Structure 1
Amino acid sequence: MILTSLTLENVGLYKGKNVLDLRPKEGKNIVLFGGKNGTGKTTLLESVKLCLYGNNIYGYTKKQYEEFIKKLIHKGEKSAQVTLEFIYFSLESHDTYKVVRKWDLGKRFKEEFLLYKNGEIYKEIPREQWQEFISDIIPPSLVNFFFFDGEKIEKLAEDFSEVEFVNDVKSLLGVTVIDTLRTSLDILRKRYINQEDVSEEISQKLQELEEKRKTLEKELEKKLQSLADIENKKQVLERKLKTAEREFIEKGGEAFRSYERNKTRKEFLESEIEKIKNEIRELASKDLPLATGMDLVEELLVQLEMEKEIKRINFEKEILQNKLKELENILTPLSLDKEVLEKIRNLFSVNKEIKSDIILDLSEKENKTVEVVIQNLKTNTLGKAKNLFLKLENLEEELLEVESALQNVPEEEFIKPYLEKLSRLERKRMEYETIRKCLEEEIRKLEKEKNKVEKEIEKLESFIKQKMKKRMVIHIIEKSQKVIDRFRKEFVKRKIKILEKEILDAFYKLKRKENFIRDLHINPETFEITLFDVNNRKIPIDRLSSGERQIFAISFLWGLARASGKKLPVIIDTPLGRLDNEHRENLAKNYFPHISHQVIILSTDVEVDKELFEMLRTHISHSYQLVYDEDCMCTKVHKGYFWN
């Protein structure tokens, strides 16, 4: 399918007739619209959807839809029209269709829907079936995956479990058709039950229970909506709280909060410092002073060793001389030769001499005492002193930091407005949390009551089934429902496998971090998404950065579009608003040129700037610039982009 033109007449800011050529040139898939904020870019996207589906895409009441169209029509005008032309390719041929939707604000609101095929009013099917025909070509359930804006991406990035989104995914997978079939069978089953000959009392009771269930469902729906509203308010409040907290910290609020803690810490540190100083003084009163002259202490040890050696040698010498005298007394009567006697004397002589004097002349006991004192000084006193001085130094540094923090505490009058704002928001959060808990409790009670009613209904229906004549039909229906349930489970599982692969492939094309996400899993019951890293560990989606979540959301939409199997154009309104340059460039290279055979981009000059325009140039078929004219208070369409 290729969109060939879009014509707006008195729609939004577009006054008069505005014809836009959407047909891409051969080999180029992008048609680029540029416009500042408020020039009507989103009107183009909404006009395409409105032309194709009318109120079916919005689900307004009749009165709400009339008010919506009145606001959409250009100010001062009484009628408007949107015309969309496209070529649809089937297996047999390709045909040109024109869809026209007109509105008239005369005496009564009037909408007219027209369908043309190859230039003539479409007559192959009744007029009443035209809308269904268009919905078959472009199913409304798929439109959000092909026609979307930046806000859709941001919303999806914030909450992948959104009910509307999950329903769209179900419809894409074909689950909605299966569920509709099962619901239809259930309605048929109940119809057969109600047709049976059952006592009026039981029928009345069953009707009352059905009414009660409907009432409970409506009440439950209201409470769930209230819970969703309070959750949204809470999220907005959380963002305000973060901003207020940041302002409070920037103004010195953290120091203000820490004042009492730092004051107590200062007193503790001062006390600890004094204790350590006392310990150092105690060491100084004992043998620590010796540590100041360790060189002398080492010399003392050397001197002591030398004196011990001198005394040992002198002692040995004295013993040998005494023995020599005794030997001489024995040998003298023997009249030995003098040379022999000299040799004997030499044997008893001690030649070793130490050139040092005995200065200290300590006894052996005194010597040991001195050695013990010096050894204790080395092993205990010095080590303990070093540890004390190191601890003292660390404590004094911390004390300086604490004193500095105390000096930087802002005045209470200065910080008070920020603190009060923060307190107000905290109180509001507590209020929301209380409301949330109350709503959850009410919902729990309603669900409990609803389950109770449903069990009573089930009992009555079971009793009625025993009495009815058409049991076989109901049996077949119930059996069919079980088959459908099994089929649905297997069908969803297989479809989800395809969807997971398409989404992951799309993400790999767009994410700059290689192997950041290795795998993903979609729960076939809840459709909850779980991401896994290279080590097969779960990655919570809320831990991804804002940019990463948006890239994943875009990948998700791309994967869904590919999984649908439909070859449809893609229209994107302001998709790059909150992405950094690297992500934007990655989308320009790997996303826009490849997502579809026809891509219509609605952008500001900030999103698709000069650099991005040059990157896309080879893929751009043609471009338009939307310019707001103050004189006519309307938007005018010019060919070319902002600087092209």
Structure 2
Amino acid sequence: MLWLTRLEMERFGPFAERQVLDFPNEPGVTVVYGENMRGKTSLLNAIRYAFFGTVLSRGSRERRLHTISNRESSAHGVFGFSVSLGFTFDGQEYELVRECQPKVRRPTSDDDYEKSVMLRCGRSVCGPQERERTLHQIFPKEVSRFFLFDGELLQEYEELLYSDSDTGPKISGAIERILGVPILKRAKLHLTQLGAEADKEEAREAAKQKGTEQVGIALQQATEQKEEHLREIGRLEKKLEELSRLRSEIDQYLDSNQRYSGVLEERDKVSKALDQARREEKVYQTKLQDAMSQAWRSLLRDTIKAAREAANEEAQRDFEALVLKLRAEAIDRGQCGTCEQEINPKMRARLKRTLPKDQVTPPRVSTAMTRLADLQKFNDSDNSGEIRQLWQRLKDLRLDQIAKEDHLSDLDNQLSEADPETMRRSKASRNDVLDKIGVVKAALIAETKKAEQKEQNAQRLREKLDATSTSDAGTSRVKARILRDAAAVFQAAVDQYKAELRTRVEETATKLFKSMTTEKHDYAGLSINESYGLSIMHREGTAEDGRSAGAEHVVALALMGALQKNAPLRGPIVMDSPFGRLDESHTTNVIQTLPEMAQQVILLVYEAEVERSRMRQLLGKRLLREYQLERVSARHTRVSKVSKGREVGHGAR
């Protein structure tokens, strides 16, 4: 059994200083309290990194190691991190140390780091090959999801209920791995291979014997042709497995980056809007420059207005003097100089009375008229309002750009752990992978049919050989028959073992589920399918459809506990925020059931999920130890041990 004893970290995530957590060596629960952004997920990742050298973010997306270095330390030019994990397995003590240290002064990518790992078993340090073999035996990465898990991902286990699910087979395979089924499958495969060799030997022997030569040669050909099809089937299955894994990785990457995908789309939108605002700013700058080039005219407006008024008055006087002059000349000539109409004496006398005694002679050409004409040509329009509007628009554009630049910076920070280009390529390549999967599946179906036909031909030929009685050929046939029968028996044994496993898992999961659910009277328990998917059964005997997220959460936890109880490999359960989808009653039941799920449980929660006093009340003596993640700064967290209601420093020592 795997048992964690000690976790030590330095500059890992928010843990800038050396921090240590000791885990009690007795069955029960250790609780680590921490608010959001304080490092609960980093603790889970520290254990994962120690075992596998990888770190996952929310959604099982693998993070770049360069992003793991404590940001406060990195700001001071100190990069890299280390994790030391102490544990026992089958009574033997181990210490596992994994480090990631910079090779250059200021690293910028994973390639700038040197990675090292050391496994100490007792007092001896394991060599590289022994280390990897030992770690794989103690804790295979394929089954880590059942020991180290994020509560937000528990809904994945609902996929086990659906035969067309992409995620379901992957989880189902991991379940069979933890239950020890692959060992039996490998044994069955070995028997099948021995049987195939015996079939070929039988055909060779028959080809050597008189009377069976023709049948033996035909059987050899049929066997060889079947093997060719089987090899092609194996190649196609391997190709399909690779493509399916690639599709799963792409889907998982896209699913886990769904939030980042939205952020990326928003970033592209904001970036385009920022570019548009910058282009618009240049346009308005040009408009403002044009307006400013004419702005001096508005400064002369009052002066020009006064000059116009003065020129207008003077021109009016000149015009009136001209009119009087023309009138006087018409009186003197008795004829209008404009229309040449004769003026009678009576009209001349009346017009003469209109003339002033002191008549002013107008200038030959009125300078006032000329000056007024020039002044009228001058554009004295006031564009100050336009300039104010342009200034205001430019001000708004600049403020808008600052806001967009800040928004863009925030989005870039959110995307700091993502790879936008990879996300774009992943979306583009998914359809291509799906097309290839379709082609490979079609080829696999065709090859399978051909292999079946060849096997049918071979079987008919074997039946012909059964009529012969040569001792050598008979011995070969008996050997081949025994191996084929043994493989069939072994397959039946595997199927029976899996059925018994499912029954045990179903019974254990039902017990745990009924302990955690609040509907104890309405639900009869859980029912398991071939893929280890669990359905909630009503007491009336029907399966519950349309289960809530909370119900899926409880079912997944029950499955986790059931696998722990029935698997050859047992170890701790480390859960990060497992109560997010549960109401208060279900949370209470789950907490009380935790000690039944595994002997060692490490729970990472924030107090808004479960208050500390309530946690102590529900677990009682089964609560072995409590830690608190304290905020030193936004980039710095310290671990403190909680003892009798107060916190005791438990960091560097």
- Which TM-score tier does this pair reach, normalised by the shorter chain? 0.5 to 0.7
Is 1:39 aligned to 2:38, yes or no?
A: yes
Q: 1:191 to 1:533 in 2, by over 3 A?
A: same
Instruction: Report if aligned partners of 2:561, 2:597 keep a CA contact under 8 Å in 1.
Output: yes
Which one of the candidate residues 620, 624, 628 is aligned to 1:625? 628
Paired letter, 1:497: T
**2:12 aligned partner:** 11
**1:153 aligned partner:** 154
Which one of the candidate residues 501, 505, 517 is aligned to 1:499? 505
CA shift for structure 1 position 492: 1.9
Q: 1:443 to 1:142 in 2, by over 3 A?
A: closer
- For residues 257-297 of structure 1, what are the alpha-carbon distances to aligned partners after superposition, in whole Å with 9 as ceiling and x for unaligned? xxxxxxxxxxxxxxxxxxxxxxxxxxxxxxxxxxxxxxxxx
**1:515 aligned partner:** 521
CA shift for structure 1 position 519: 3.9
Instruction: Report if aligned partners of 1:623, 1:639 keep a CA contact under 8 Å in 2.
Output: yes
Is 1:101 aligned to 2:98, yes or no?
A: yes
Query: Which secondary structure state, in structure 1, belongs to the residue aligned with residue 610 of structure 2?
Result: coil
Question: Matches of residues 157-236 of structure 1 in structure 2 within 5 Å?
Answer: 157=158, 159-160=160-161, 162-190=168-196, 209=229, 212-214=232-234, 216-217=236-237, 220-221=240-241
- For residues 335-354 of structure 1, what are the alpha-carbon distances to aligned partners after superposition, in whole Å with 9 as ceiling and x for unaligned? xxxxxxxxxxxxxxxxxxxx
Q: 1:610 to 1:129 in 2, by over 3 A?
A: closer
Instruction: Report if aligned partners of 1:53, 1:135 keep a CA contact under 8 Å in 2.
Output: no
Paired letter, 1:12: G
Relative to the length of structure 1, the TM-score reads 0.55
Instruction: Report if aligned partners of 1:29, 1:597 keep a CA contact under 8 Å in 2.
Output: yes
Is 1:144 aligned to 2:142, yes or no?
A: no
Query: Which secondary structure state, in structure 1, belongs to the residue aligned with residue 24 of structure 2?
Result: coil
**2:120 aligned partner:** 115
Query: Which secondary structure state, in structure 2, belongs to the residue aligned with residue 602 of structure 1?
Result: strand
**1:84 aligned partner:** 85
- For residues 55-96 of structure 1, what are the alpha-carbon distances to aligned partners after superposition, in whole Å with 9 as ceiling and x for unaligned? 7999xxxxx99x8444444454554332211344x5xxx443
Which one of the candidate residues 443, 446, 461 is aligned to 1:449? 446
CA shift for structure 1 position 596: 3.4
- For residues 396-453 of structure 1, what are the alpha-carbon distances to aligned partners after superposition, in whole Å with 9 as ceiling and x for unaligned? xxxxxxxxxxxxxxxxxxxxxxxxxxxxxxxxxxxxxx99999997687445324234
Separation (CA, whole Å) in 2 of partners of 1:74 and 1:463:
70
Relative to the length of structure 2, the TM-score reads 0.55
Paired letter, 1:640: V
Q: Percent identity?
A: 20
Paired letter, 1:153: L
Instruction: Report if aligned partners of 1:115, 1:122 keep a CA contact under 8 Å in 2.
Output: yes
Query: Which secondary structure state, in structure 1, belongs to the residue aligned with residue 555 of structure 2?
Result: helix
Which one of the candidate residues 532, 537, 549 is aligned to 1:532? 537
CA shift for structure 1 position 500: 1.4
Separation (CA, whole Å) in 2 of partners of 1:78 and 1:464:
71
Paired letter, 1:615: Q
Q: 1:103 to 1:595 in 2, by over 3 A?
A: same
CA shift for structure 1 position 190: 4.8
CA shift for structure 1 position 157: 4.1
Separation (CA, whole Å) in 2 of partners of 1:73 and 1:166:
35
Q: 1:474 to 1:44 in 2, by over 3 A?
A: farther
Is 1:559 aligned to 2:559, yes or no?
A: no
- For residues 376-415 of structure 1, what are the alpha-carbon distances to aligned partners after superposition, in whole Å with 9 as ceiling and x for unaligned? xxxxxxxxxxxxxxxxxxxxxxxxxxxxxxxxxxxxxxxx
**1:267 aligned partner:** none
Instruction: Report if aligned partners of 2:508, 2:565 keep a CA contact under 8 Å in 1.
Output: yes
Query: Which secondary structure state, in structure 2, belongs to the residue aligned with residue 164 of structure 1?
Result: helix
Question: Matches of residues 281-320 of structure 1 in structure 2 within 5 Å?
Answer: none
Q: 1:457 to 1:69 in 2, by over 3 A?
A: farther
Question: Matches of residues 283-432 of structure 1 in structure 2 within 5 Å?
Answer: none
Separation (CA, whole Å) in 2 of partners of 1:177 and 1:597:
26
Instruction: Report if aligned partners of 2:45, 2:55 keep a CA contact under 8 Å in 1.
Output: no
Question: Unpaired runs of 5+ in structure 1?
Answer: 59-63, 240-433
Which one of the candidate residues 570, 581, 585 is aligned to 1:582? 585
Instruction: Report if aligned partners of 1:223, 1:443 keep a CA contact under 8 Å in 2.
Output: no
Instruction: Report if aligned partners of 2:9, 2:84 keep a CA contact under 8 Å in 1.
Output: yes
Query: Which secondary structure state, in structure 2, belongs to the residue aligned with residue 11 of structure 1?
Result: coil
Q: 1:215 to 1:463 in 2, by over 3 A?
A: farther
Separation (CA, whole Å) in 1 of partners of 2:568 and 2:249:
36
Instruction: Report if aligned partners of 1:156, 1:553 keep a CA contact under 8 Å in 2.
Output: yes
Give me the CA root mean square deviation: 4.7
Separation (CA, whole Å) in 2 of partners of 1:85 and 1:226:
35
CA shift for structure 1 position 508: 1.2
Q: 1:110 to 1:643 in 2, by over 3 A?
A: closer
Which one of the candidate residues 621, 636, 639 is aligned to 1:637? 639
Q: 1:460 to 1:231 in 2, by over 3 A?
A: farther
Separation (CA, whole Å) in 2 of partners of 1:462 and 1:104:
63
Instruction: Report if aligned partners of 1:32, 1:603 keep a CA contact under 8 Å in 2.
Output: yes
Instruction: Report if aligned partners of 1:57, 1:140 keep a CA contact under 8 Å in 2.
Output: no
Query: Which secondary structure state, in structure 1, belongs to the residue aligned with residue 11 of structure 2?
Result: strand
Query: Which secondary structure state, in structure 1, belongs to the residue aligned with residue 594 of structure 2?
Result: coil
**1:362 aligned partner:** none
**1:425 aligned partner:** none
Query: Which secondary structure state, in structure 1, belongs to the residue aligned with residue 45 of structure 2?
Result: helix
Instruction: Report if aligned partners of 1:149, 1:574 keep a CA contact under 8 Å in 2.
Output: yes
Separation (CA, whole Å) in 2 of partners of 1:194 and 1:556:
45
Separation (CA, whole Å) in 2 of partners of 1:40 and 1:57:
13
CA shift for structure 1 position 194: 7.4
Which one of the candidate residues 580, 604, 607 is aligned to 2:606? 604
Paired letter, 2:520: E
**Count of residues in Structure 1 that have an aligned counterpart in Structure 2:** 428
- For residues 20-58 of structure 1, what are the alpha-carbon distances to aligned partners after superposition, in whole Å with 9 as ceiling and x for unaligned? 22226x7x8222212222332222223223323447999
CA shift for structure 1 position 601: 0.9
Q: 1:70 to 1:121 in 2, by over 3 A?
A: farther
Query: Which secondary structure state, in structure 2, belongs to the residue aligned with residue 129 of structure 1?
Result: helix
Separation (CA, whole Å) in 1 of partners of 2:476 and 2:230:
22
Separation (CA, whole Å) in 2 of partners of 1:177 and 1:530:
28
Separation (CA, whole Å) in 1 of partners of 2:461 and 2:252:
45
Question: Matches of residues 446-485 of structure 1 in structure 2 within 5 Å?
Answer: 446-455=443-452, 458=455, 473-485=479-491
Separation (CA, whole Å) in 1 of partners of 2:46 and 2:571:
17
**2:575 aligned partner:** 572
- For residues 517-574 of structure 1, what are the alpha-carbon distances to aligned partners after superposition, in whole Å with 9 as ceiling and x for unaligned? 2143323x4444444321222333xx22221121111111112212226663321111
Instruction: Report if aligned partners of 1:224, 1:443 keep a CA contact under 8 Å in 2.
Output: no
Separation (CA, whole Å) in 1 of partners of 2:454 and 2:636:
60
Q: 1:454 to 1:202 in 2, by over 3 A?
A: closer
**2:384 aligned partner:** none
Separation (CA, whole Å) in 2 of partners of 1:520 and 1:559:
12
Q: 1:73 to 1:121 in 2, by over 3 A?
A: farther
CA shift for structure 1 position 479: 2.4
**2:286 aligned partner:** none
Is 1:20 aligned to 2:21, yes or no?
A: yes
Instruction: Report if aligned partners of 2:243, 2:433 keep a CA contact under 8 Å in 1.
Output: no
More displaced stretch, 560-569 vs 215-224: 215-224
Separation (CA, whole Å) in 2 of partners of 1:435 and 1:548:
37
Separation (CA, whole Å) in 1 of partners of 2:178 and 2:639:
36
Query: Which secondary structure state, in structure 1, belongs to the residue aligned with residue 597 of structure 2?
Result: coil
Separation (CA, whole Å) in 1 of partners of 2:565 and 2:617:
24
Question: Unpaired runs of 5+ in structure 2?
Answer: 104-111, 163-167, 208-216, 260-430, 466-471, 648-653
CA shift for structure 1 position 512: 1.2
CA shift for structure 1 position 231: 9.1
- For residues 304-337 of structure 1, what are the alpha-carbon distances to aligned partners after superposition, in whole Å with 9 as ceiling and x for unaligned? xxxxxxxxxxxxxxxxxxxxxxxxxxxxxxxxxx
- For residues 438-476 of structure 1, what are the alpha-carbon distances to aligned partners after superposition, in whole Å with 9 as ceiling and x for unaligned? 999768744532423433664687799989996555444
- For residues 142-176 of structure 1, what are the alpha-carbon distances to aligned partners after superposition, in whole Å with 9 as ceiling and x for unaligned? 54333322023232246555122211221233322
